[in-house]
Amino acid sequence: MSDIQKIGSAGSVESNDCLVTISASDHLEVEIQSIVDAFFHDQIEKVVLDTLKEKGLNNVKVSLQDKGALDYTIKARLLTAIERMEAK
C-alpha cells in the first residue's frame, strides 16, 4: 500500500550537516539523533521548534539526523525540507 504521503527531506549525513525529514502528521513530533546529543539536544530542539513556529506548522513529524550541524545549517535544511514537503 503506497498512499502518497506529504513528505520532504533535505541535507545529508556528512560531517557538519544534518539530514532533515519532515512529514504531515496528526500531532507535533520532533525526533533528534545527534552525535553531540549530550551537549546540544535542547539547543537543536529549540532551533527546530522555533523554525516550525515561524512557518506556523503544528502538525508535523520532524526527524533529524545530526552530524554536528550549526544552528543556521539546521534551520536552512529544515526550511528546504518544509518547502519540498509543501511542493507536493
Partner 1 sequence: MIVKEALLQGEKQQIKEFLTKFSLKMDEVEGSLYLEDDDKIVGTISYLGNIIKCLAVDPLYQSENAATLLINELISRLNEKNIYSYFVFTKPMYQNIFLSFGFRLIVKDDKVVFLEGGNDKIEEEIKKIKRKLEFYLGPIEENSDIACVIVNANPMTTGHEYLIETASKNHDQVVVFVVEEDKSIFSFQERLTLVYLACKRLENVAVIPSSKYIVSSLTFPSYFLPSDSVDTELARIDALVYKNYFKKIIHFKKRYLGKETKEKMVKYNEVLKEELGEDIIEVERYVEDGVVVSASLVRKYLENKDLDSALKYIPKGNQTFFSLMVKDKYGI
Query: Using CB under 8 A as the criterion, which residues of the chain lie in contact with partner 1 when the complex forms?
Result: 1, 4-5, 7, 9, 12-15, 19, 21, 23, 33, 61, 63, 65
- Provide, rounded to whole angstroms, the least separation between the CB of residue 9 and partner 1: 5
Query: In terms of CB distance, is 9 or 55 closer to partner 1?
Result: 9
For residues 39 and 30, give the distance between their C-alpha atoms in angstroms, rounded to a whole number: 17
Query: In terms of CB distance, is 19 or 69 closer to partner 1?
Result: 19
For residues 66 and 60, give the distance between their C-alpha atoms in angstroms, rounded to a whole number: 19
Query: In terms of CB distance, is 33 or 58 closer to partner 1?
Result: 33
Q: SS3 for 1? A: coil
- Provide, rounded to whole angstroms, the least separation between the CB of residue 64 and partner 1: 9
Q: For residue 15, how many other CB atoms are within 10 A of its CB? A: 9
- Provide, rounded to whole angstroms, the least separation between the CB of residue 79 and partner 1: 17
Nearest-10 Cα torsion for 86, 21, 55, 35: -160
